[in-house]
Amino acid sequence: MQSTVLILLVGMAASTSAAALTPKSTSYAFKLVAKEDAGSPFDGQEVTASQNKLWLSQPMEKQDTDCGSGPVDKAPATLFLQDDELFLFGGEGKSHQQLAANVSGKEHESLKYFNNTKDGPGQDFETKGWSLKPDNQDEYLSFNEAVMLACPASDDSFTVGVYQDYDRGCFELKARVEYNYQPVSCKYSGN
């Protein structure tokens, strides 16, 4: 009996120490910045989120983000990855705005965010497949190796999309990751 208890205690101690040594999945929040390429109309611009879309060069009067203490004049979209899924940062345990992509066709609305507690992303949209890809000393957002594009909108801004095939006067976008280790929680308009 005593040897059984001792064996159980040693086994529990070993499993506890092994669990303590196992790294936990930690996702850091980040913002996206358009890689500065010559000729691009949005060199170095931060990606924002509004009206269920991601944007570049969106006019300030159309940015309607509510962060922490209330609306802000200009705030880049703060995102994080978890299990190959991409979310807008809404606070610890409160991030329900999730991004989804549709690369099956030539839809102009190929990337959107939605509230995953209320509804799904819609037919043909996928939520899994997001990753950060290293390139030299930087990392870039990727969705299943599809091309990220910035397509012109009517107000000199650009909507961000994900495409397998394109020919629509859009610009290829390399969305560089900049980590934010003390993110502010925000609620982005649209849902």
* Cβ atoms of 34 and 43 closer than 8 Å: yes
Q: How many CA atoms lie within 13 A of 31 on its CB side?
A: 21
Q: Give the chain's domains with CATH numbers.
A: 27-187 (2.80.10)
Return mean pLDDT, the chain: 77
pLDDT at 27 over 80: no
Q: Tell me the mean pLDDT in the region 57-84.
A: 77
Whole-Å CA distances, 162 to 48, 92, 93, 130: 16, 27, 27, 11
Q: What pLDDT band is residue 23 in, cutting at 50, 70 and 90?
A: very low
The model's pLDDT over 123-132, given as tens digits with 9 standing for 90+, comes to: 889 999 999 9
Does the pTM surpass 0.75? The reply is yes
Amino acid at 178: E
Predicted pLDDT at 79 = 93
The model's pLDDT over 1-18, given as tens digits with 9 standing for 90+, comes to: 444 433 433 344 433 333
Q: What percent of the chain has pLDDT over 70?
A: 75
